[in-house]
Amino acid sequence: MTNSQIEAINVEPRLLCGPGPANISPGVLSALSKPLLGHLDPDMFEILTELAAMTARVYQRDEGDGMTLPISATGTSGMEAGIAALVEPGSTVIIGVNGYFGRRLVEIASRYHANVVAVEADWGQAVANEALLDALAANPDARLMAVVHAETSSGVRHDFAELGEAMKGNDTFLMADCVTALGGIEVALSDWGVDYAYSCSQKCLAMSPGMSPISISQRALDFMRSQPKPSTFYLDPQLLEAYWLTRPAAYHHTLPSPLVFGFHEALREVLNEGLEARWARHAEAGGHLQAAMAERSMELLADPAHQLPQLTAVLVPEGIDGPVVQRQMLREHGIEIGGGLPGAPAIWRFGLMGYNANIATADKVLAAFDAVMADAPTLAVA
């Protein structure tokens, strides 16, 4: 054992243009360093009430329609919280599966002993709403239908407006995975009839990981209140509601106030920019990148009719070692792009999200990509 001093971690800045996290906006970064507040400080309760209302506005959940708040955890916590609260052993759950995160929904629902009906589509394709509705017709007592709105693993957008309209008046609850959607493309939960949605803080909202905003319709909330307690304590929406929204608050967990401050600033920036303006900014940046890839004869994975602007999956050309390109982008240019998740074809995933959703960032990524691909003969698969 020596008495040598342990040095602090030194992290070089990176341009994070993969599937997430994205770079934090300067305002959010400053908010994350505000002085700590205790989780039972009366000033904190005022912030929580305001933050919940702001989250509902970004989700476009109408006032009086249920409950919206962030969970102090990453996006997967929001996924599991909804399944834990709405599903019981033997419940039938219909899940759209066209990528990695649809499969994760299947995995979590199966762990809660649901009867899972998977409606599948190929990578790059949207799950057909007709197929989902056929599954519902074959399983009219299904408790829940869950679909990924923006499939991070492939860059595919699901048409939730159409699905929600078709399901209006149905007793089956509708769940939306908005992890890569919220703040980047239109999300309108009340108009679409979405009963439960979840997202994250580190993508189009331009914050660090650590918060998972969830939103629950009034009818789903009423159902939860009529059921036995879910098997999870930390992710029980009713216990979270009692702390976040009920006054006087009931202690639930030690809230990480820096994340609360950062998330408040992230949503403040979204709302001050304006939802439509923010969606348009993501559309412009993503469209610019995608057009540039087409000019370079690069093929995109997603069906053009369902292509996300904020996440672009590019097929790796035959003979090129995709991970080598990723490493050179990172080591030579300080830019992170993603590769494919298990089960995906050979792809690169380019993200232009939140603070990074602009033409200048897209051009910087493209310039680095061009420089790396100029060495293509040395990047061939061995």
Confidence category of residue 2, pLDDT binned at 50, 70, 90: low
Mean pLDDT for the stretch of residues 286-305: 98
Q: What is the pLDDT of residues 161-200, one digit of tens each?
A: 999 999 999 999 999 999 999 999 999 999 999 999 999 9
Confidence category of residue 249, pLDDT binned at 50, 70, 90: very high
**Tokens encoding 327:** 């490493």
Confidence category of residue 4, pLDDT binned at 50, 70, 90: confident
How far apart are the C-alpha atoms of 240 and 235, rounded to whole Å? 7
Q: Is the pLDDT reported for residue 377 higher than 90?
A: no
Hey, which residues does 323 pair with through a beta bridge? Answer: none
Has this prediction a pTM greater than 0.75?
Answer: yes
- pLDDT at position 375 is 83
CATH of the domain spanning 26-272, picked from 2.40.50.320, 3.30.365.10, 3.40.640.10, 3.20.20.150: 3.40.640.10
- pLDDT at position 3 is 74
CA angle in degrees (0–180, nearest 5) for 259-359-353: 25
Q: What is the pLDDT of residues 192-227, one digit of tens each?
A: 999 999 999 999 999 999 999 999 999 999 999 999
Upstream peptide bond of 21 is cis (omega within 30 degrees of 0): yes
- 315: CB partners within 8 A, 6+ apart: 298, 299, 300, 301, 345, 346, 347
Helix (H, G, I), strand (E, B) or coil at 271: helix
Hey, which residues does 117 pair with through a beta bridge? Answer: 94
Q: Is the pLDDT reported for residue 5 higher than 80?
A: yes
Mean pLDDT taken over the chain = 96
Inter-residue contact 247 to 240 (CB < 8 Å): no
Q: Is the pLDDT reported for residue 26 higher than 70?
A: yes
Domain range summary for the chain, segments of one domain joined by + = 15-21+275-379, 26-272
**CATH, domain range 15-21+275-379:** 3.90.1150.10
- pLDDT at position 194 is 98
Hey, which residues does 147 pair with through a beta bridge? Answer: 176
Tell me the percentage of the chain whose pLDDT exceeds 90.
Answer: 97
- pLDDT at position 378 is 65
**Tokens encoding 101:** 């995160």
How far apart are the C-alpha atoms of 26 and 206, rounded to whole Å? 9
Mean pLDDT for the stretch of residues 49-58: 97
